[in-house]
Amino acid sequence: MLKHTLTAAVAAVLFTAGAAHAGSTIIGSVQSDVKVNRASQTQSGLLNKQEANVGSVVGSTVIGSVRTRVDVNNLSQTQSGLLNKQEANIGSVKGSTVIGSVQSDVKVNRLSQTQSGLLNKQEVNIGSVKDSTVIGSVKTKVEANNISQTQSGLLNEQKMNLGSID
């Protein structure tokens, strides 16, 4: 069982809190209880990537149940340049295989992504199951207060998944 509690101001290129890391194989249950007061990521240049995984299972195999309880007060990502990518996975299962149930209870007060430049991509996944295989039940509860994505430039892409199966 994994149990993480985080209450801090964090600035990093790759931010992972209470998450099963990419490529993990877990036989048993995963339980994350994560609180984030303020986290921010800022980059400029080209071919950069920002990823915030908070209480999420990303690129992993779990044989057992996944339960996440995530409370995020303020998370922001800012980039300028070209061919950059921002991604925020909060209480989500992404690119994973889960044999068992998935239950997410997610509260987000404020999340913002801002990019300028060209050929940039933004993605927000909150309490969602994306590009995953789940053999069992999925139950999500999402409370989102202020979620924003802003881009300027050319040939940019934005995607937002809240409590969805995509």
| Residue 131 CB contacts under 8 Å (≥ 6 apart), including other chains | 94, 95, 166
Q: Confirm whether 42 is domain-assigned.
A: yes
Q: Confirm whether 100 is domain-assigned.
A: yes
Residue 138's H or E segment, with its range, is: strand 138-154
Query: How many percent of the chain have pLDDT more than 70?
Result: 87
Q: Confirm whether 2 is domain-assigned.
A: no
Look at residue 156 and give its three-state secondary structure: coil
Least Cα distance to 62 among 164, 136, 121 occurs for: 136
Report whether 21 contacts 57 (CB < 8 A).
no
Per-residue pLDDT at 18: 55
Per-residue pLDDT at 19: 55
pLDDT bucket at 13, cuts 50 / 70 / 90: very low
Per-residue pLDDT at 9: 28
**Structure tokens given for 93:** 């299962």
Q: Confirm whether 1 is domain-assigned.
A: no
Residue range 100-110, pLDDT digits in tens: 999 999 999 99
> pLDDT at residue 52 above 90?
yes
> pLDDT at residue 135 above 90?
yes
Q: Confirm whether 4 is domain-assigned.
A: no
Q: Confirm whether 114 is domain-assigned.
A: yes
Q: Domain limits at 106?
A: 9-162
Rounded Cα distance between 166 and 92, Å, is: 11
pLDDT bucket at 21, cuts 50 / 70 / 90: low
Neighbour tally for 116: CB within 10 Å: 17
Q: Confirm whether 45 is domain-assigned.
A: yes
Q: Confirm whether 157 is domain-assigned.
A: yes
Residue range 70-118, pLDDT digits in tens: 999 999 999 999 999 999 999 999 999 999 999 999 999 999 999 999 9
Count up the domains in the chain and report the number: 1
